[in-house]
Chain A
């Protein structure tokens, strides 16, 4: 939860685009940790069949792990997209500060 808070405020408050993206990743990771924690049951094994199928009692809940995997795929693609946008902006304006870019844009229009 604390990690989620750190990531969230980073994404919202940081001016630097790269730091915003790091914030986003911290936020996502926090959510995945939360999910993984909730899926774990003490003293049981991962739901992978090694030596024959055992009883239901032997395994932890596999669904949260599935959700985490899906979530990781989503966050990887989103991060890639954000990074490419950042590169575009940097090449054009030579700064990573979003507010500075806005002022440059306003100057451009006049």
Chain B
């Protein structure tokens, strides 16, 4: 047995133990340990990816060497390793991008607690990605929830505590449903390992018995994970949680935590239920409808928002809608598009959060649009970064968002009933995206002016800004150059490069996702 096969287990245990270790260290050392662990996990996952590509097949690592139906297993294929490596990269960049805000906003004595939470979060994400056992997945879902709650409320004020409470309530509803779904499935099949369940599910489906309990189990698990990843009707907790927490928390929550649940759902579709049974059930139509509703309602809410952080948060609702719409198509192309969108949204949304914090810095910490005029000139790099992120979200060619939109529409073409609604929804939501992102971009590049305006659409604002006069900088507004914030600047440049790379050079990644999905079944 090759030594590399231990790597997924090593990375989980490494991040798990760095948490308790950080609790006895001071804030500075905890930070160093945390960064080192993230880098190490990234390298280990990269090695696993390389190994799996070379051997061409997924491997199963039996925990404690108990054979299949009894033991607990870790399974690593191309898709798992790819997602793990990607999550590590994004998490590293998020942590780097928010370093200064964290040090300002969190009390000095509580710094190390933050890093414990991040370590545990990384551990649970990696475990969610690699595990081959449903109940282990449930336990790590709970760990993920608790540490995410810690990340939200570490900045101690009323807003964040309230946001954390709302988040917990919705998440607990979600995990309750997930647990009940798991119990149903365990009853039906008598197994907890994903591969064994799949065999039994196929046998059950073929025998024609117990169809309804099976459907109920699928429904419960889908709804549970949909609540946890903030699919449209269950998104009420999201704007508060993303909008008021510290920058790196918001970036990590939006681009990693919800994506971890989505990846678990993909695993359940493929590895537990089997894709043909899943796409034959009626659940996918429900997901499709809610996905489309989320795409449009999320964007409408984002347009009405006057707060830049909350606007980005609502845009997440719309993007999650895209991903579920891809699931709802029920074809392999739809799944590939969704998984690509998971990656591309992770890279873009965290860029937007970090850039938005840079813009807010240059505008006296204000988070409202009316104070942001000309921020793109005062903090040039953040302005450029925000523009790149916006263009990518809108789906301009060359950036990551374009590719995933292209794949969604390709996947939709040829689908008899769902083609028209998908394409229409894509078009509408692209226009809505363009309205609110371009509004912001125009705003941050327009000259400063004193009167407050109430323009609602991009056009009227554009006209009004043309007539604005440059004024002296009010208090708190300052120029920020790259040298003042080297770490954040580096993180933003890396994010921009990642985005353009995803946009220009997507074939190898798509190839990897295709191979990974093949390995799943």
A interface list, Cβ under 8 A from B: 4, 7-8, 11-12, 17, 20, 24, 27-28, 31, 34-35, 38, 63-64, 67, 70-71, 74, 77-78, 81-82, 85-86, 88-89, 92-93, 98, 101-102, 104-105, 108
Task: Name the distance in Å between B459's Cβ and chain A's nearest Cβ.
Answer: 30
A-B contact pairs, 5 of them (CB 8 A): A71-B179, A77-B146, A78-B146, A78-B172, A89-B165
Chain A positions within 8 Å of B159 at CB level? 105
Chain A residues with CB under 8 A of B146: 77-78, 81
Q: Cβ of A93 and Cβ of B153 under 8 Å apart?
A: no
Report how far A7 CA is from B180 CA in the complex, Å.
13
| Interface positions of B (Cβ within 8 A of A) | 135, 139, 142, 145-146, 149, 153, 158-159, 161-162, 164-166, 168-169, 172-173, 176, 179-180, 183, 186-187, 192
Which residues does chain B contribute within 8 Å of A24, judged by CB atoms? 172, 176
Complex: how many Å from CA A17 to CA B186? Answer: 32
Cβ distance A77 to chain B, nearest Cβ, rounded Å = 7
Q: Known contacts A31-B180, A81-B149; decide if A101 and B172 are in contact (CB<8 Å).
A: no
Which residue of chain A lies nearest to B166 when distances are taken between CB atoms in the complex? A98
User: Which secondary structure characterizes the binding site on chain A?
Assistant: helix
| Residue ID in chain B nearest A20 by CB atoms | B169
SS class, residues of chain B in contact with chain A = helix
Across-interface contacts of A105 in B (CB, < 8 A): 158-159, 162
- The contact of A63 among B149, B173, B179, B192, by CB within 8 Å, is B192
In the assembled complex, the Cα of A7 lies from the Cα of B159 at a distance in Å of 27
Residues in A with CB closer than 8 Å to B166 are 98
Q: Are B162 and A89 in contact (CB under 8 A)?
A: yes
A31/B179 in contact, CB under 8 A: yes
Q: How far is the CA of A82 from the CA of B201 in the complex (A)?
A: 36
**B contact residues around A8 at 8 Å (CB):** 173, 176
Q: In the complex, how many angstroms separate the beta carbon of A87 from the nearest chain B beta carbon?
A: 10
Shortest distance between the CB of A73 and any CB in chain B (Å): 9
Give the distance in Å from the alpha carbon of A66 to the alpha carbon of B340 in the complex.
Answer: 38
Known contacts A12-B173, A85-B153; 5 further A-B pairs (Cβ under 8 A): A11-B173, A38-B186, A71-B179, A85-B161, A93-B158
B180 proximity list for chain A (CB < 8 A): 4, 31, 34
Establish whether residues B183 and A89, one from each chain, have CB atoms under 8 Å apart when the complex forms: no
In the complex, are the beta carbons of B169 and A11 less than 8 A apart?
A: yes
Q: Which residue of A lies closest to B161 (CB)?
A: A88
Please tell me if the beta carbons of A86 and B172 are within 8 angstroms of each other in the complex.
Answer: no
Q: Are A38 and B158 in contact (CB under 8 A)?
A: no
Which A residues touch B162, using CB under 8 A?
A: 89, 98, 101-102, 105
A89 / chain B contacts, CB cutoff of 8 Å: 158, 161-162, 165
A86–B194 CA distance with the chains assembled, in angstroms: 37
Report chain B residues within 8 Å CB of A67: 135, 183, 186
Query: For residue A35, which residues in chain B have a CB less than 8 angstroms away from its CB?
Result: 183, 186
Q: Which residues of A contact B173 (CB under 8 A)?
A: 8, 11-12
Count of A-B contacts judged by CB separation below 8 Å: 77
Q: How far is the CA of A28 from the CA of B142 in the complex (A)?
A: 13
List of B residues within 8 angstroms of A12 by Cβ:
173
Q: What is the bound-complex CA distance between A88 and B180, given in angstroms?
A: 31
How many angstroms from the CA of A82 to the CA of B158 in the assembled complex? 15
- Decide: B165 and A92 in contact? CB cutoff 8 A: no
Chain A nearest CB, measured from B440 CB (Å): 21
Q: A108: which B residues are within 8 A, CB to CB?
A: 158
User: Which residue, A8, A11, A28, A74, has most C-beta atoms of chain B within 10 A?
Assistant: A74
Q: Which of B149, B161, B172 has the most CB of A within 10 A?
A: B172
A98 to B168, CA, bound (A): 13
Q: Do A82 and B168 contact each other (CB < 8 Å), given the known contacts A8-B173, A67-B135, A102-B162?
A: yes
CB distance from A17 to the nearest CB of B (A): 7
Q: Is B139 in contact with A28, judged by CB distance below 8 angstroms?
A: no
CB < 8 Å neighbour of B176 from A31, A92, A101: A31
- Selected contact of B142 from candidates A74, A93, A104, CB within 8 Å: A74
Report which residue of B146, B149, B165 has the largest number of chain A beta carbons within 10 angstroms of its beta carbon: B165
* Chain A residues near B135 (CB-CB < 8 A): 67, 70
Q: Which residues of A contact B139 (CB under 8 A)?
A: 70, 74
Give bound CA distance, A67 to B137, whole Å: 12
Which B residues are in CB contact (< 8 Å) with A78?
A: 142, 145-146, 168, 172
Nearest A residue to B145 via CB reads A78
Partner of A27, one of B149, B168, B176: B176
Assess whether B168 is in contact with A31, with CB atoms less than 8 Å apart. Answer: no
Across the interface, name the chain A residue whose C-beta is closest to B162.
A101
Name the A residues within 8 Å of B165 (CB-CB): 17, 82, 85-86, 89, 98
Q: Which residues does chain B contribute within 8 Å of A11, judged by CB atoms? A: 169, 172-173, 176
Nearest CB in chain A to that of B143: its residue: A74
Q: Which residues of A contact B169 (CB under 8 A)?
A: 11, 20
Q: In the complex the two chains form, what is the Cα distance from A67 to B149 in whole Å?
A: 24
A31 to B180, CA, bound (A): 6
Q: What residues of B have a CB within 8 angstroms of the CB of A28 in the complex?
A: 176, 179
Closest to B182 in A: A67
Asked if B192 and A85 sit within 8 Å, CB to CB, the answer is no
The complex places the Cα of A51 from the Cα of B4 at a distance, in Å, of 45
Contacts of B172 in A (CB 8 A): 11, 24, 78, 82
Assess the A85–B168 pair: CB atoms within 8 A: yes
Cβ of A31: which chain B residues have Cβ within 8 Å of it? 176, 179-180, 183
- The 9 A-B pairs at the shortest CB distance, nearest first, are namely A74-B142, A27-B176, A85-B165, A38-B187, A88-B161, A35-B183, A31-B180, A31-B179, A24-B172
In the assembled complex, the CB of A37 is this many whole angstroms from the nearest CB of chain B, namely: 10
